[in-house]
Structure 1
Amino acid sequence: MKMVRLLLVAMLGLIALVACTKEQKTAPAKQTRTSATSAYERYFGPAPTTDKGTCYAFVIYFPSAKEQGKVVPFPFFTFNKESIRKVALERLLGGMDVGSYKGEFLQPFASGTRILGIVEQGGVVTVNFSKEILDSKADAAVERAMLDAIVLTLSQFGKVRDVRVQIEGKESGSVDSKDAGKFMGHGGLERQPLRPDESAVLSPSSPRLLSVTAMKDKGATEVEEVNAFFDRPVEIKELRMTGGDGKPFEGDVYHSVLGMAAVLKPKAPSLFKAGMPVRVGWKVIDKLGRSAEGTGEFALEVKEH
């Protein structure tokens, strides 16, 4: 139970993972391979195993702030297959400007934009947005990235041929993603389905350390575990945690569920306080052989479970 909640934190608040804490009570102890979309496997390799139920790995494509008009794949997990498309799209709308990715992804979707419905019929997925999406001030290149992000994110689930976009139940005038500058309420739009454009996708960077977070039981005075969360499943070759004085923290280190974090079980939990500096040195490798190493200082977050 605790390890699954750690995964929830590691995935930056992905709502669907809450379901995992319920399902695992009856889940078998046998390790099973996470079910992954082909997009996940293409960009992040074989999915990890878990004994906490049936898990689904997928990708969300965020518009890049560094290369205009491009999108960047980012891995996510859920235990709720039925609403996986909505979970992915809601996460896309929410953006991601946290940790070591701060400032790297654009947030072109207007505040208040909601998903009113997602329907698939005959290989065509129709997504219906609220009218707030028309308030976007994005230029043509960013609008193109918005469309590519929507289409690529939705197209990985099942045998999707096309994506159509509606606003308040009316066709937006969905255009080809190469002509996306006309998309947001500018009129005169062709009513064509959108198809995924893989040429818009940038290759993922090497693994990154996202944050250092301590977990404690609700109402407890001392932390139970300290977690170094990475942006994807990794094999941890080396990990060191020290205080601001450079003195190493003692304790056992092990992997979390799905290999998303290195978890320290401290011998002296009273040392860890919210906001204190924690220095981390790491060396990791992901499932496609991309390696990374580095050092950094993080302000400790403390969360209850």
Structure 2
Amino acid sequence: MKRIHVLMTALRLLSILLIPMLLLTGCSRKDAAAPTKPVRVSATKAFEEHFGPAPTTDKGSCYAFVIFFPSAKDPAKAVPFPFFTFDQASLKKVAVQRLMGGMADLKSYQGELLQPFPPGTRLLSVEEGSGVVTVNFSPEVLRAKEDDAADRALVNAVVLTFTQFEGVKTVRIQVEGKDSRLSQLVKRVDQRAVLPLPPPRLLSVTAMKEKGDRYVGEVNAFFDRPVDIKLLQMTAADGSVFHGDIYHSVFDMAAVLKPKDPSLFKAGMPVRVRWQVVDKKGRASEGSSDLLLEVKEH
């Protein structure tokens, strides 16, 4: 396998990573001047605790943080996922909006994560002052029938996500500007209620092409966190290998194949991915998965 390099621009990352999560948010700040040398992404302590040292980028000042989604197996526990953004000014708003968006589009985690917000819930405001973050939701956030387990899962996710940010000491959850039963649950949040992460997981295979182009330019195998790629091979249904150079994506969230013959890739075709990866905390995984190819334009 060829030496792994950083390939994709931050703008491509935005269009790609909004597909499964995924997992990332808004990495396309136009006014950020690119440093001449790669710099380490600014990361919260929670990010470093769960995912190890933050990756580097040459696309401007970027911020890494964690979204905590409730576990379907144990709603009192949370599952951490990595996110990145260039927009420091609206960092906390971006975080809660992504939490509200849920992970229903992440097929690899179907049945494992809860959507804590009832349908129709809207974020009205996020305000911060003197170490207190006040997050204000629309009335739909309160279920018609009180459900302590569901309410606790929602509050846990919100509080764990906000308190990772420097300077945040307290979180207030309001409904149309007023305290509610959710406000009382904030005091019961356990900061240790985070499940240990298993080894890295392959999420999807997505090809990217420029708008109007006939063929794809690259094929991405996405993982659920930053990883070091030890082995990555893609093959067709008949077992033939797709040849090309392999690169790391920005933020190390994907292995990128630059195919020698782009005409071989069509939307919906089965692609077998064989991989060996290690995350930044030393957790290793390997395997082989058959996935249907998604094709996205940017």
By the TM > 0.5 criterion, same fold? yes
2:10 alignment partner in structure 1: 4
1:64 to 40, 64, 71: 71
Q: Which residue of 2 aligns with 1:204?
A: 197
Q: Letter of the aligned partner of 1:240 in structure 2?
A: Q
Distance apart, 1:15 and its partner CA: 7.6
Alignment partner of 1:102 is 2:110: yes
Alpha carbons of structure 1 residues 240 and 138: separation in structure 2 relative to 1, 3 Å: farther
Letter in 1 for 2:17: A
CA 1:112/1:28 → structure 2, altered by over 3 Å: closer, same or farther?
same
- What residue is the counterpart of 2:150 in the other structure? 142
Q: Contact 1:29–1:52 (CA<8 Å) still a contact in 2?
A: no
Alignment check: 8 A CA contact 1:10 1:230 kept: no
- Normalised by the length of structure 2, the TM-score is 0.91
Identity %: 59
Equivalent in the alignment of 2:180: 172
Tell me whether 1:39 sits opposite 2:46 in the alignment: yes
Deviates most, 152-161 or 241-250: 152-161
Give the counterpart of 1:244 among 237, 240, 243.
237
How many Å separate the matches in 2 of 1:23 and 1:287? 30
Check the 8 A contact 1:237/1:284 in 2, yes or no.
Answer: yes
Alpha-carbon deviation of 1:125? Answer: 1.0
1:221-260 to 2 correspondences below 5 Å: 221-260=214-253
Query: Within 5 Å, which residues of 2 pair with 1:10-21?
Result: 10=17, 12=21, 16-20=25-29
Instruction: Tell me, yes or no, if the aligned pair for 1:162 and 1:194 is still in contact at 8 Å.
Output: no
Q: Is the alpha carbon distance of 1:49 and 1:18 closer, same or farther for their aligned partners in structure 2, counting shifts above 3 Å?
A: closer
Size of the aligned set, in residue pairs, is: 288
Q: Output the amino acid matched with 2:164.
A: Q
Match for residue 88 of structure 2?
A: 81
2:8 touches 2:249 (CA, 8 Å); kept in 1? Answer: no
Aligned to 2:37: 30
Does the alignment pair 1:266 with 2:259?
Answer: yes
* Kept after mapping to 1: 8 A contact 2:23/2:81: no
Q: Secondary structure at the match of 1:145?
A: helix
Q: What displacement does 1:194 show?
A: 3.9
Q: Give the SS at the match of 1:211.
A: strand
Q: What SS does the aligned partner of 1:17 have?
A: coil
Deviation at 1:276, TM superposition (A): 0.3
Counterpart of 1:218 (choices 193, 196, 211) is 211
Distance 1:210 1:83 in 2: 27
| SS at structure 1 position matched to 2:162 | helix
Check 1:87–1:258 CA distance in 2 against 1; reply closer, same or farther (3 A cut).
Answer: same
Gaps of 5+ in 1: 178-192
* Deviations, residues 198-249 of structure 1 (Å, cap 9, x unaligned): 2321112211111100010101110000010111110001111000111100
Q: For residues 67 and 242 of structure 2, what CA distance do their matches in structure 1 show? A: 35
Distance 1:113 1:123, change over 3 A: same
Deviation at 1:156, TM superposition (A): 1.1
- Residue aligned with 1:90, SS: helix
Residue in structure 1 matched with residue 4 of structure 2 by the alignment = none
User: Structure 1 residue 159 and structure 2 residue 167: aligned?
Assistant: yes
Distance, in Å, in 1 between the alignment partners of 2:188 and 2:92 is 16
Query: Corresponding residue for 2:3?
Result: none
Q: 1:195 to 1:142 in 2, by over 3 A?
A: closer
Q: Distance in 1 between matches of 2:276 and 2:144?
A: 40
Q: 2:23, 2:82 within 8 Å by CA — same for their partners in 1?
A: no
Question: Is 1:130–2:142 an aligned residue pair?
Answer: no
Moved more, 97-106 or 55-64: 97-106
Q: Which runs of 5+ in 2 are unaligned?
A: 1-6
Out of 92-101 and 137-146, give the one that drifted further.
137-146
Deviation at 1:103, TM superposition (A): 1.8
Counterpart CA distance in 2 for 1:151 and 1:252 is 43
Structure 1 counterpart SS, 2:87: coil
